């Protein structure tokens, strides 16, 4: 809902009716915008943050058509609506008003108390709708985000991986997977404490997030293990990005309570050429093997591999 006074759109081809209604609405300190045509109404909807609308269904203005147009606008698909008419209305008219999203139907001349009660109800509904949307966004964020680092959690990362893999198949484009592990992280925890370990994880995630490309999908899948999917990236791209990430971590001073903690990472990089078809399980398995090789080879290094088209085997999606 808009900050400050609620904004009410009044649509009536009779300007006198508009003025009367606007005067009535002002009693509740609502801000009123009046339109006499559908074009004016749409312009106001696009320019303002309308919280509710009162629309006449009298000829020649087709109020139901205007309501249909409003509901087709993503921003206003749940906008509370009320309809007014100079005619006596019957059951079919009432049903049509409900069909087009009308919460109320009033006959002119208005009963001031009833109309003000209608406006109050619609504004209240809009406020509750906005609160619900905000809570849903918060829940969605919590369900998809790693609480400590603010990047994708395991569940959301693999949902995004599935989407990117499907897109790569459609477009026949290559991509890469970087499987990363912070070297000697247990030793950091044991030496400096878990608060320092959490700080290292957050700092690492921030550095990688600043270093990767905007299109890359970055997530934490457990402990000190992080993964990046690189869409539209060939073998050389993957090696270059992996090495850039590794070097950034090694060269950045990460200080905890005034003391520098050296941090390095090992990376297993798997390149998937455009012709190859694989699964998330296969990606993780092969990237993990490359990561293991990087750690066994002395850590603080990138070990790249390339998936051959003939290697791919269809397996269940088991990493969620």
Residue from 224, 293, 296, 311 carrying the catalytic annotation:
224
Our CA dihedral for 248, 253, 257, 263, rounded to 10 degrees, sits at: 50
Q: Where do runs of H (alpha helix) occur along the chain?
A: 15-25, 38-47, 63-72, 91-99, 112-144, 154-171, 185-192, 194-211, 235-251, 280-296
Q: What are the tokens at 242?
A: 């992996």
Q: Are strands 265-272 and 175-182 parallel, antiparallel or unpaired?
A: antiparallel
Q: Which residue has the tokens 């791209």?
A: 237
Q: What are the tokens at 303?
A: 């070990």
Distances in Å between the alpha carbon of 208 and those of 55, 62, 128, 219, 224? 52, 55, 39, 10, 13
Q: What are the tokens at 155?
A: 């569940």
Per the DSSP assignment, residues forming a β-bridge with 9 are: 33, 53
Residue 54 near residue 124, CB atoms below 8 Å: no
Q: Mark whether 282 is an active-site residue.
A: no
Residue 105 near residue 82, CB atoms below 8 Å: yes
Tally the C-alpha atoms within 13 A of residue 128's C-alpha that lie toward its C-beta. 7
Residues marked as catalytic: 224
């Amino acid at each position: 809902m808009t900050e400050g006074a609620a904004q009410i759109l009044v649509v009536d081809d009779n300007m006198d009716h508009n003025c009367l209604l606007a005067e009535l609405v002002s009693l509740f300190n609502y801000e009123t915008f009046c339109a006499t045509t559908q074009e004016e109404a749409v312009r106001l909807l696009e320019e303002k943050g309308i919280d509710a609308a009162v629309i006449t269904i009298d000829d020649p203005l087709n109020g139901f058509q205007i309501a249909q147009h409003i509901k087709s606008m993503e921003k206003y698909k749940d906008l509370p609506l009320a309809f007014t008419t100079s005619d006596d209305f019957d059951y079919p008219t009432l049903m049509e008003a409900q069909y087009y999203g009308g919460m109320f139907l009033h006959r002119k001349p208005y009963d001031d108390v009833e109309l003000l009660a209608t406006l109050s109800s619609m504004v209240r509904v809009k406020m509750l709708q906005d609160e619900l949307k905000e809570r849903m966004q918060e829940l969605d964020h919590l369900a998809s985000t790693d609480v400590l680092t603010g990047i994708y959690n395991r569940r959301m990362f693999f949902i995004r991986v599935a989407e990117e893999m499907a897109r790569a198949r459609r477009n026949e484009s290559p991509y890469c997977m970087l499987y990363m592990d912070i070297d000697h992280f247990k030793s950091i925890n044991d030496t400096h404490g878990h608060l320092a370990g959490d700080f290292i994880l957050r700092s690492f995630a921030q550095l990688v997030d600043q270093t990767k490309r905007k299109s890359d999908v970055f997530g934490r899948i457990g402990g000190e293990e992080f993964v990046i999917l690189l869409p539209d990236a060939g073998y050389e791209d993957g090696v270059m990005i992996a090495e850039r990430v590794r070097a950034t971590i090694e060269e950045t001073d990460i200080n905890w309570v005034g003391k520098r903690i050296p941090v390095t990472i090992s990376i297993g990089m798997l390149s998937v050429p455009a012709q190859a078809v694989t699964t998330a399980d296969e990606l993780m398995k092969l990237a993990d093997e490359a990561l293991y090789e990087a750690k066994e080879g002395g850590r603080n290094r990138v070990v790249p591999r390339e998936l051959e088209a003939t290697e791919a085997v269809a397996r269940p999606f088991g990493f969620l």
